Structure 1
Amino acid sequence: MDKRIFKFLLAFFFCLNLEAEETLTFVPLPTEDRKTIYNYFYPMVSYLEKELDKEIKFVYYDNYEDIVSNFKAGKIDFAYLGPLPYVQLKKEFNKALALVHFKNEKGESTYTCSLVRTLWNKKRQKIALTQPLSTCGYLSVNALLDKKLKNYKYQYLGRHDLVALEVLNGEFDMGGLKSDIAKGYFHLGLDEIAVTKPFPMFSLIINSQSFSSQEIQNITNALLYIDQEELNKWGKPIRYGAVKAMDEDFNPLREMLKNIQIPLEGNF
């Protein structure tokens, strides 16, 4: 082979590898349908691309377990996670790092989960859950039912909005979901039975192996010290600013997880 051609091919494949290394991946939790989630998070992804001067690919997974397994496999660099998925991920993959908790419209950096039913249905037999690794799923509903969820029929539906809709449709008598999502259905007749103690708000999690310490600091600062004009472009879950996350923020949840086995499937 001609030496010039060899050098050209070598340089070409080096550039391809460099480009692949510069492409990062962001994954959000599937709390609502794909289109809604994309609209919520695309502006933040675009903002981080500019801050890092790197391309960020947006990937959607339908279940929490796939997010955790792909993160551990090094296929995810950024993730928007609730506290339970993060605690589980951190337990299995210590390089996962929570950078910030996103605040809500009241400026709070915590949230709650609600057990709901409809105003017209007083039965307490079938319960709709989100996902096994959802903070508002089995873990929270079991706590709100005095650890007696095993005595009820329950099924995992996936998304928080689906839990609300299926309870409203009468397919389930009760359901567990994020309180601020539940409130969006109160005008349709959804009724709140009980609420959990506050959990750390959903967080931006990174694979710390993908970034230098300076890049990690830059990402954190870019999210903490962002102007309101930019935030106004972002979706509801992340448009009210953020506070720095600490790993000890999740210790109360770790205590809740002691002596409990979360089933991976429903019981009917």
Structure 2
Amino acid sequence: MKKKTLYVLFLVITLVLSACGSNASDENKKDNEEPFTIGVIPVQTVGEMETAMDKLQSILTKELNREVSVEVYPDYNGVVEAMNYNKIDMAYFGPLTYVVAHDKSGAKAIITQLIDGEPFYHSYIITHKDSPLNSIEDLVANSKEFDFAFGDINSTSGSLIPSIELKDRGVFESEDEHQFKSVRFTGSHDATALAVQNQLVDAGAIDSAIYNQLVESKKIDGSLFKTIWESEKLFQYPWAVHKDTDDETIQKLKSAFLAIDDEEILAAFGASGFTEATDADYESIRQAAIKQGIINE
């Protein structure tokens, strides 16, 4: 009788443990079925990036062994807010939007892109070849005669860095307070380039890598432009994960990006490849954002 009781007890315990294990397994399976979501800022107009993002989505889905969803947002700030409210697991930020997201929600930079083998780019101020402007000094000295375009208001090279330069030279404070004939924000780098090419504005600020990519892809005619100002080196756009992302997922993401050689994906970002990045790489941008009162020290 005693042996029989022990046997029955053993069976009960085994069944209970199996049920617990099954529930845990089911729960883990459920978690893994939830898509890993990535938000991307619109470095070019959204339609131009769709095919490349579909390819990136497929690569990352295979590497993570989990469904990945990549979405290009209509504006820079939307990606910051999506990370802040836990709507996305990873984001492709501009350097400025990254330091804002890091400040707000603890986003962590893990990857950036290479341009001709280096993780740097510049902010340009460009103008039409027929423009009388040949330098930023010309632009500042005669600012009231010229229409100026920034990109997205949250762009590093399309807004933050050139606005600091123009502010230091005494001709710009804000969209409503400036010394130009007019100031506008186009929303993207390619829109700024086209506005200058079509002489809708006299000069505009743009990402150097995106400008070069637009010329190489013949989306704009490089022979119609002059570059009249170039910033110091800026560290390239980061891919950043949510603060709660586990180390295994981070390593898989790094491996996937470092292996990417698809020309269409790279071209969407004006890149020649990818390399690792850390939060410390964006300290100069953080200091610029503090100077402009965008984040607190």
TM-score where L is the length of structure 2: 0.74
Q: Is the 8 A contact 2:124 2:228 kept in 1?
A: yes
- Letter of the 2:82 partner, please give it: N
C-alpha separation in 1, matches of 2:209 and 2:263:
19
Cα displacement (A) at 1:56: 1.2
Match of 1:203 in 2: 238
Following superposition of structure 1 onto structure 2, how do residues 74-113 of structure 1 map, counting pairs within 5 Å? 74-94=86-106, 96-104=107-115, 106-113=116-123
After superposition, the Cα gap between the structure-2 partners of 1:20 and 1:157, relative to the gap in structure 1 and judged at 3 Å, is farther
Aligned to 2:150: 129
The percent identity for this pair of structures is: 23
- Aligned structure 1 segments of 4 or more residues deviating by more than 4 angstroms: none
What does residue range 1-268 of structure 1 map to in structure 2 within 5 Å?
18=30, 22-94=34-106, 96-104=107-115, 106-122=116-132, 124=143, 125-145=146-166, 147=168, 148-150=171-173, 151-152=179-180, 153-183=182-212, 184=215, 185=220, 187-209=222-244, 211-224=245-258, 226=259, 228=261, 231-232=262-263, 234-236=265-267, 237=269, 240-261=272-293
Preserved contact between residue 99 and residue 220 of structure 1 (Cα < 8 Å): yes
Q: Is the 8 A contact 1:117 1:175 kept in 2?
A: yes
Q: Distance in 1 between matches of 2:190 and 2:70?
A: 21
Residue 4 of structure 2 is matched in structure 1 by none
Deviations 1:47-85 (A, max 9, x none): 111111111122222111111111111111121112111
1:119-173 CA distances to partner (integer Å, 9 max, x unpaired)?
1123642111111210013312123435232332311110100001111222211
Q: Give TM-score, length-normalised by structure 1.
A: 0.82
Are the equivalent residues in 2 in contact too, given 1:85–1:133 (CA < 8 A)?
yes
When residues 48 and 137 of structure 1 are mapped into structure 2, their CA distance, relative to the original with a 3 A threshold, is: same
1:189 positional shift = 0.6
Deviations 1:163-196 (A, max 9, x none): 0111122221110011123231452412111011
- Bigger share in helix: 2
Which SS does the other structure have where 2:156 is aligned?
A: coil
Report which of the two structures shows the higher radius of gyration computed on alpha carbons.
2
* Aligned residue identity for 1:149: F
Contact persistence 2:91–2:240 (CA under 8 A): yes
Q: Distance in 1 between matches of 2:260 and 2:292?
A: 42
SS of corresponding position for 1:191: strand
8 Å CA contact retained: 2:33, 2:66: no
Q: Which amino acid aligns with 1:235?
A: L
Structure 1 stretch displaced more, 69-78 or 251-260: 251-260
SS at match of 1:194: strand
3-state SS of paired residue (2:183):
strand
